[in-house]
Amino acid sequence: MNANLLFGCGLGGSLLLAGCGAGKADNAASSHKPNVVFIVADDLGYGDLSCYGASAIATPHMDRLAAGGLRFTDAHSVAATSTPSRYSLFTGHYSWRRNDTGIAAGDAGMVIRPEQTTIADLFKTAGYTTGAIGKWHLGLGDKVGTQDWNGLITPGPQDIGFDYSYLMAATGDRVPCVWIENQRVAGYDVDAPISVSYKVPFPGEPLGKTHPEQLTKLKPAPNHGHNQAIVNGISRIGYMKGGGRALWQDENIADTITAKAVRYIEQHKDTAFFLYVGTNDIHVPRYPHARFQGKSDMGYRGDAILQLDWTVGEIMKTLKANGLLENTLVILTSDNGPVVNDGYVDQAVELLGEHRPWGELRGGKYSSFEAGTRVPFIVSWQGIVGPGVSGALVSHIDLFASMAQLTGENLKEGIAPDSRNQLDALLGTDRQGRDYVVKAARTLSISTGEWKYIAPCNGTPYYKSTRTETGFSREEQLYNLREDIGEQRNLASEYPEKVKELKGLLEKEKEKGCLLR
């Protein structure tokens, strides 16, 4: 079949309008289906980019992406922390329907089970080659604590649709602190076999709490944990022994992820590819490369934003250099909202100044208030999308079904059950998007463009350690986001009908299962 027909004008709705309707079908035409790149930043806040209003920091590369593409103002991750957020993005299944999708330990078994169909499987079925690079945080291996870090770790990304993977198992602040390439430790050091435990320390191994003098790069913040295994002068969550030459250097993490992503693009430029890049920036421990240290006025948190911006710039530069911009859909977003102090003494709080990582929103990472899940979201596809700003209500949950539409695949019953095709919203021809989005923290919330309801729960309203307003309350909460984007006035008692309506929608969603812990 003529690919130009399929992907220039033949897809009906979306591309017909976006591509051919705009008279730019030729730009979309290529010998194969459009490449797709998801860049998922970590803990990047709604207000952390200059294109989203930040003035204390400049993010020129991400701004350029936004200026040439579509910048969304009402886009949501499914959850306010990483594991459940990424789980939903990859599976099109609400993480809160399961009780085992909470923040994964570094030795967690793979949260997405091999029998599940992921967005990577979808792309593979559509003839793509698929890659996952960077932060994973979805567990590896079968069951917690059973991985052999010295051999093949299985099941893994290959069992859920990724042909290639180069990953950190969990987070920068969790052991094991090694890269895992195609389910084996990259650069494995035979002289330093690896053991990992989240239960007991290894005798003789230095810990943050017992050997603070070895914390040459970052110290854990009081009352935040992060005082266990010391790797590379930084103490982590969890215990680890060995690794030797395979251990990562935190200052090189962004360079490594960027280099791997660049190489992936270069190697696959002649075939349709789907690439997921999970950046480590701007999660803790923030320890950017010397090139970025001190380059913002905000300490390492700001420097990490600049480093992230550079990563995005390098990826875009590579697409451009290989002539791929007109045949590649790029989505840049964040897994959850921002946090300033998340466990290390890095002066993020002291040097924040006027910068508001959450923009005009309330709350942050972990929170049911908007900043927990309303995230930066930029769609770029030269000649097809934008430029512009879209207020359409969109959610990561819909990426799966939207990519099915993009690639011309039908989703079988039961696959990505919570995902809906919103390709037109992603490409900008529909400026409405969803009727409502459901977001998870300790409790669920639901918002239409205008109204927001937060279900009552018994969580604490304020996390002292991270200084987060959680939005958790035993009372029902209703906010009018059009008039009160900062969620200051609870209108639940004034608008009981609205509460009933939103609660009803939420209850209906929950009928298909809710095991939120």
| Amino acid (1-letter code) at residue 415 | I
**Which of the choices ligand NG6, Ca ion, none does residue 334 contact, using the CB cut-off of 5 to 8 A by kind?**
none
Of 43 and 250, CB closest to Ca ion: 43
Residue of 283, 286, 374, 439 that binds ligand NG6 (CB under 6 A): 283
Of 462 and 495, CB closest to ligand NG6: 462
Buried b (16+ CB within 10 A) or exposed e, 297-323: ebbbbbbbbbbbbbbbbbbbebbeeee
- Token representation of residue 230: 């010391």
Binding flag, residue 103, ligand NG6 (CB under 6 A): yes
Cβ at position 137, least distance to Ca ion in Å: 8
Binding flag, residue 335, Ca ion (CB under 5 A): yes
| DSSP string for residues in 466-515 | TTEE----SS-EEEETTT-TT-----TTT-HHHHHHHHHHHHHHHTT---
Binding flag, residue 171, ligand NG6 (CB under 6 A): yes
Residue of 10, 13, 102, 225 that binds ligand NG6 (CB under 6 A): 225
Listed in sequence order, the DSSP H helices in 337-489 are: 399-407, 423-427
Binding flag, residue 218, ligand NG6 (CB under 6 A): no
Residues from 25 through 64 that contact Ca ion (CB under 5 A): 42-43
**Which of the choices ligand NG6, Ca ion, none does residue 328 contact, using the CB cut-off of 5 to 8 A by kind?**
none
Residue of 109, 243, 343, 386 that binds ligand NG6 (CB under 6 A): 343
Rounded to a whole number of angstroms, the distance between the first and last alpha carbons of the chain is 49
Q: 389 near 73, Cβ under 8 Å?
A: yes
| CA pair distance 477, 482, nearest whole angstrom | 15
Task: Sort 159 into a burial class: Cβ within 10 Å, 0-12 / 13-18 / 19+.
Answer: middle
Query: Which among 77-85, 244-252, 256-264, 291-299 is the span making contact with Ca ion, rule CB under 5 A?
Result: 77-85
- Token representation of residue 371: 């900043």
Cβ at position 82, least distance to ligand NG6 in Å: 3
Q: Would you call 330 helix, strand, or coil by DSSP?
A: strand
Residues from 119 through 158 that contact ligand NG6 (CB under 6 A): 137
Q: 341 near 467, Cβ under 8 Å?
A: yes
Of 54 and 284, CB closest to ligand NG6: 284
**Which of the choices Ca ion, ligand NG6, none does residue 269 contact, using the CB cut-off of 5 to 8 A by kind?**
none
Task: Sort 143 into a burial class: Cβ within 10 Å, 0-12 / 13-18 / 19+.
Answer: exposed
Residues 6+ apart with CB under 8 A from 444: 96, 368, 438, 455, 506, 510, 514, 516
Query: Which among 20-28, 188-196, 336-344, 378-386 is the span making contact with ligand NG6, rule CB under 6 A?
Result: 336-344
**Which of the choices ligand NG6, Ca ion, none does residue 311 contact, using the CB cut-off of 5 to 8 A by kind?**
none
Instruction: Give contact residues for ligand NG6 (rule: CB under 6 A).
Output: 42-43, 81-82, 103, 137, 171, 173, 224-225, 237, 283-284, 336, 342-343
| Chain positions contacting Ca ion, by CB under 5 A | 42-43, 82, 335-336
